Amino acid sequence: MRGWNHTGAKEFLLVGLTENPNLQIPLFLLVTLIYFITLLDNLGIIILIWLNAQLHTPMYFFLGNLSFCDICYSTVFAPKMLVNFLSKHKSSTFSGCVLQSFPFAVYVTTKDILLSMMAYDHYVAIANPLLYTVIMAQKVCIQMVLASYLGGLINSLTHTIGLLKLDFCGPNIVNHYFCDVPPLLRLSCSDAHINEMLPLVFSGLIAMFTFIVIMVSYICIIIAIQRIHAAEGRYKAFSTCVSHLTTVTLFYGSVSFSYIQPSSQYSLEQEKVLAVFYTLVIPMLNPLIYSLRNKDVKDAAKRLIWWGKNPT
């Protein structure tokens, strides 16, 4: 089909995190440990929420989906990355790159939207506690989560379709440890301007929407907290938002620098460092951020441990 990819490159060679052979085994061990902790922490959160009726609330419904996204988008690239650490020939076909970049973009975008939904949930819980269960009914929460996944799917399609319409007939070395869109765009021998701008604009619109939702939600939260007379009540209301604010800051800070910028201002080395942070470190930290400061999660974990020791 004319206009769609008819690449001359049989495969793409992945540079990886580093070309230093002495660092491959240490990095393999480090990434294996991080990935294992990521799976253990996030699966633990999901199971904990599922088994404890006290956590069957909108806040933890969103948190469970956030953990699911962290597991999925880490799993998209981490196993291949680990194999490449032990392989001398680090390569991927064009189809393999598409199959890697597509779900990765889906789950990263979904996580972005979910974080904005969680900000709105915090606002409703603090500003309208008496109407919270009515406004954030189960049906509404399910619709919000489905909208997040739909937004992720549409955004990923814009990136993937753009890739499929490019020609790759020259260099085939991807200066990255997975098939990310920006380094692939740099290898194209056709005009990638339009294919770059469409995903950039769409991603920018989603980022702007979620940023506005988060900012407006927290402005309203601050106003609502100021109306609480008891100091203990103000502290409790604010403390429920700290974990979410920490996650938002870490995620938005790294992803925005990676994607919301044109290729003329783009540094592949900078992207690799940031990508390690938002694809490896943040998914590992999220469950810790939410559990260490969350009394409900800690109490549920203690009950589960007690039940495990005393099943009868």
Give the model's pLDDT for residue 272: 76
Give the model's pLDDT for residue 80: 86
Give the model's pLDDT for residue 311: 58
For the chain, list residues with pLDDT below 50: 1-2, 6, 264-265
Domain boundary assignment for the chain: 14-309
CA 194/CA 197 separation, integer angstroms: 5
> For residue range 5-47, what is the model confidence (pLDDT) as tens digits?
545 566 788 888 878 888 889 989 999 999 999 999 999 999 9
Q: State if pTM tops 0.75.
A: yes
Element at 173 (helix H, strand E): strand 173-174
The angle subtended at Cα 53 by Cα 51 and Cα 57, nearest 5°, is 115
The answer to whether 27 and 18 are in contact (CB under 8 A) is yes
Domain spanning 14-309 has what CATH number?
A: 1.20.1070.10
Provide the greatest CA pair distance for the chain.
Answer: 68
